[in-house]
Amino acid sequence: MDLILVGFMGSGKTTVGKLLADRLGKQYFDLDQLIVEQTGMSIPQIFAERGEDGFRMIEQQCLQSTNEFPGILGTGGGTPMQRNNQEFLGKAGAPVVLLSASIKTILARLAGDNNRPLVEKLGAAGLADLQAQRHDTYLNVSDLQVATDELTPFEVADKIIDQLKVAK
């Protein structure tokens, strides 16, 4: 893996990850999509049939399988919350970039997205609480943080590329 994106749902991981992959001539891998491909079920189906714990087990297995993938990986919003996944991210040998956004921005981005079981389950107040609970863990696993609220996806990608050049 060349770069790993983490952050709360709706922070822009997939959109920015695809842009980064295009600009850097890399392949983009979306962890949720890998899970769907491996199981043959949608994320909501997995949550309904196996619960969140079952989903997290599958997620961990898929994350471990990305170790040798060449390119950019977009993780799920809850991926860094599992201890084994934190260890994997720490040993991956790739920069981990946190994309952050305010809950207001996230709610606007997620409006009408029916493929997010936790959005329906928790509602706006619950999502705000969940984001706050995850914040410190996101920071702990990240090498770099980029706030996406006031930036276009192109600007976020440019900022990441520029900051990674400086970090080398």
| 148 is an annotated ligand-binding site residue | no
Give the pLDDT of residue 1.
85
Give the pLDDT of residue 13.
96
Q: For residue 168, tell me if it sits in a domain.
A: no
CATH of the domain at 157: 3.40.50.300
* pTM score, whole prediction: 0.91
| 79 is an annotated ligand-binding site residue | no
Q: Domain range holding 114?
A: 3-161
Q: For residue 7, tell me if it sits in a domain.
A: yes
Residue 8's closest CA among 97, 122, 106?
A: 106
Give the pLDDT of residue 115.
63
| 26 is an annotated ligand-binding site residue | no
| 159 is an annotated ligand-binding site residue | no
| 23 is an annotated ligand-binding site residue | no
| 12 is an annotated ligand-binding site residue | yes
Q: For residue 166, tell me if it sits in a domain.
A: no
H or E element: which one contains 29? Answer: strand 28-30
| 32 is an annotated ligand-binding site residue | yes
Q: For residue 128, tell me if it sits in a domain.
A: yes
Give the pLDDT of residue 117.
63
Report how far Cα 98 is from the mean position of its chain's Cα atoms. Answer: 8
- Residue 46: C-alpha distances to residues 35, 54, 94, 114 (Å): 9, 8, 29, 14
Give mean pLDDT, residues 88-100. 95
